[in-house]
């Protein structure tokens, strides 16, 4: 069983549904609204835990009902919450997900306590990082905290997975130097490398540029098309499973969490792990909400056996 530690965000998601996005100055009625647990970090941790990994979370929530709710979402999925701190300096993070009838989403985020996570907070979890198969992080918490976590993982000879989202072109070279696997989507790849992703040739070019920045292993996710992988000089493309999507909000996070649950620390089964992650993601997009949509290991295996 892989041991996965996730450093990242916890957000309470407010999901607003409507037929189409309003034009400037236009008022439209909602067709529905709901609240669910979210945050890229929490989504990835829950996906890893439900897919079978022993999972621990490092993050911060407010001293409020939303914080209590978010910790409950973690623990109910079997995620160890020992390193989730409660702060009275800000409110728990929140996100507002705008979802139209075609399942296209736009997301607005208030980082709240996610922005208060420090390198010192991460150092308190040094022992669990040193015992983890993988440490995963994203960019919804401060990069300085992520860099410190990755340095601790590298010192302990454990592997790191970076999801560079939301996209930024200000990724320190020092962070990439201690990143073992990077998992951007096509937009994030272009932001990091300047390569516009249109086909497999451009994926190869983008991945090679990421390798030149110091990351040996690369996965570029391309939504409903699938995912491209590169390990050393080897590469391939794993098509997505075709399904009718309802809500794509947690698709990428489910992919990364599920991937970490089955990936070998030497990345020797990268292609097979990508396929497993694709299957998990295909199940997540068929349900509404981020964390409520994330499948269990049994559901992923059953889907593979029946389709």
Is 32 known to sit in a ligand binding site? Answer: no
Is 253 known to sit in a ligand binding site? Answer: yes
Catalytic residue among 81, 121, 180, 253: 253
Threshold 0.75, pTM exceeds: yes
Mean pLDDT of the chain: 95
Q: pLDDT above 90 covers what percent of the chain?
A: 88
Is 244 a residue of the active site? Answer: no
Is 132 known to sit in a ligand binding site? Answer: no
Is 304 known to sit in a ligand binding site? Answer: no
| Domain 3-22+30-306 annotated CATH 3.40.1190.20 | yes
Instruction: Please state, in angstroms and as integers, the Cα–Cα distance from residue 229 to each residue in 141, 200, 236, 247, following that order.
Output: 26, 10, 6, 25
Is 114 known to sit in a ligand binding site? Answer: no
Burial (CB count <10 Å: 0-12, 13-18, 19+), residue 284: buried
Q: With left for phi above 0 and alpha for psi between -120 and 50, is residue 289 left, alpha or beta?
A: left
Give the pLDDT score at 103. Answer: 80
Instruction: Please state, in angstroms and as integers, the Cα–Cα distance from residue 46 to each residue in 81, 135, 244, 257, following that order.
Output: 11, 14, 23, 7
Q: pLDDT above 70 covers what percent of the chain?
A: 100
Give the pLDDT score at 307. Answer: 56
pLDDT, tens digit, 9 for 90 and up, residues 287-303: 978 898 999 999 999 99
């Amino acid at each position: 069983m892989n041991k996965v530690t996730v450093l990242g965000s916890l957000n309470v998601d407010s999901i607003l549904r409507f037929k189409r996005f309003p034009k400037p100055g236009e008022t439209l009625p909602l067709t529905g609204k709901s609240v669910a647990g979210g945050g890229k970090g929490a989504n990835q941790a829950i996906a890893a835990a439900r897919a079978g990994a022993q999972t621990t979370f490092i993050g911060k929530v407010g001293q409020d009902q939303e914080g209590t709710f978010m910790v409950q979402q973690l623990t109910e999925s079997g995620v160890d919450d020992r390193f989730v701190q409660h702060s009275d300096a800000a409110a728990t993070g929140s996100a507002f997900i705008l979802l139209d009838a075609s399942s296209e989403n736009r997301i607005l985020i208030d980082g709240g306590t996610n922005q208060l996570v420090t390198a010192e907070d991460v150092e308190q979890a040094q022992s669990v990082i040193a015992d983890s198969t993988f440490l995963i992080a994203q960019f919804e918490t401060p990069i300085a905290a992520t860099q410190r976590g990755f340095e601790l993982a590298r010192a302990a000879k454990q592997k790191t997975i970076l999801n560079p989202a939301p996209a930024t072109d200000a990724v320190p070279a020092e962070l990439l130097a201690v990143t073992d696997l990077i998992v951007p989507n096509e937009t994030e790849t272009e932001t990091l490398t300047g390569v516009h992703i249109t086909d497999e040739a451009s994926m190869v070019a983008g991945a090679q540029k990421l390798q030149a920045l110091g990351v040996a292993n690369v996965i570029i996710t391309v939504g409903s098309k699938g995912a491209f992988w590169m390990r050393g000089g080897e590469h391939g493309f794993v098509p997505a499973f075709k399904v009718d999507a309802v809500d794509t909000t947690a698709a990428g996070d489910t992919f990364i969490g599920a991937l970490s649950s089955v990936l070998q620390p030497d990345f020797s089964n990268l292609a097979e792990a990508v396929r497993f992650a694709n299957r998990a993601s295909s199940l997540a997009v068929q349900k509404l909400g981020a964390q409520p949509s994330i499948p269990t290991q049994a559901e992923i295996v059953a889907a593979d056996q029946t389709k």
